[in-house]
Amino acid sequence: MASLVRSATLRFLKPLGNLTLNYAVNHPRTQTLSFRAFSTTLSPPSKAVVYEQHGPPDRVTRVIQLPPVEVKENDVCVKMLAAPINPSDINRIEGVYPVRPQVPAVGGYEGVGEVHSVGAAVKGFLPGDLVIPSPPSFGTWQTYIVKDQNVWYKINKKSPLEYAATITVNPLTALRMLEDFVTLNKGDAIVQNGATSIVGQCIIQLAHHRGIHNINIIRDRTGSDEVKEKLKNLGADEVFTESQLEVKNVKGLLSGIPEPALGFNCVGGNAASLVLKFLGRGGTMVTYGGMSKKPITVSTSSFIFKDLSLRGFWLQNWMSTEKAKGCRVLIDSLLDLAREGKLKYEMELVPFDNFNAAIDKALGKQGSQPKQVINFQL
Closest by CA position to 109, among listed 71, 178, 47, 166: 166
Closest by CA position to 189, among listed 259, 278, 280: 259
Which secondary-structure segment (H or E) carries 168?
none
The distance of Cα 199 from the centroid of its chain, to the nearest Å, equals 11
- Whole-number Å distance between alpha carbons of 324 and 327: 5
Of the chain, the end-to-end C-alpha distance in Å amounts to 62
Which secondary-structure segment (H or E) carries 145?
strand 144-148
Closest by CA position to 67, among listed 48, 84, 88, 85: 48
Cα dist from 363 to 37, 141, 279, whole Å: 51, 17, 33
Q: For domain 46-169+327-375, which CATH number applies: 1.10.1670.40, 2.60.40.3880, 3.90.180.10, 3.20.20.110?
A: 3.90.180.10
Output phi, psi for 269, to 5 deg. 60, -140
Q: Residue 195 pLDDT > 90, yes or no?
A: yes
Find the range with the poorest average confidence among 86-95, 165-174, 226-235, 292-301: 292-301
In percent, the amount of the chain with pLDDT more than 70 equals 90
The distance of Cα 325 from the centroid of its chain, to the nearest Å, equals 17
The pLDDT value given to residue 19:
30
pLDDT, tens digit, for every residue of 92-144? 999 999 999 999 999 999 999 999 999 999 999 999 999 999 989 999 999 99
Q: Residue 22 pLDDT > 70, yes or no?
A: no
User: Which residue would you say has higher pLDDT here, 27 or 162?
Assistant: 162
**8 A C-beta contact, residue 13 and residue 34:** no
SS3 category, 2:
helix
Other CB atoms within 10 Å distance of the CB of residue 195: 26
DSSP 119-139: -TT--S--TT-EEEESS--S-
Residue type, 207: A
Closest by CA position to 339, among listed 204, 158, 207: 158
Closest by CA position to 235, among listed 253, 213, 252: 213
Is 123 exposed, middle or buried (CB count within 10 Å of its CB: 0-12, 13-18, 19+)?
exposed
- CATH code for 181-312? 3.40.50.720
Count helices and strands in the chain by DSSP H and E runs: 11, 19
SS3 category, 93:
helix
Q: Residue 5 pLDDT > 50, yes or no?
A: no
How crowded is the C-beta side of 33, counted as CA atoms within 13 Å?
Answer: 11
pTM: 0.86
Q: Residue 18 pLDDT > 60, yes or no?
A: no
The distance of Cα 152 from the centroid of its chain, to the nearest Å, equals 14
pLDDT, tens digit, for every residue of 261-281? 999 999 999 999 999 999 999
Q: Residue 17 pLDDT > 50, yes or no?
A: no
- Whole-number Å distance between alpha carbons of 287 and 274: 13
The distance of Cα 119 from the centroid of its chain, to the nearest Å, equals 26
How big is the chain, counted in residues?
378
Find the range with the poorest average confidence among 35-44, 93-102, 180-189: 35-44
- Just list the catalytic residues: 97
The distance of Cα 147 from the centroid of its chain, to the nearest Å, equals 17
Strand order in the sheet with 309-312: 238-241, 213-218, 189-193, 262-265, 284-287, 309-312
Q: What is the CA radius of gyration of the chain?
A: 27
The pLDDT value given to residue 39:
54
Domain parsing of the chain, residue ranges: 46-169+327-375, 181-312
Mean pLDDT of 346-374: 96
Mean pLDDT of 185-194: 97
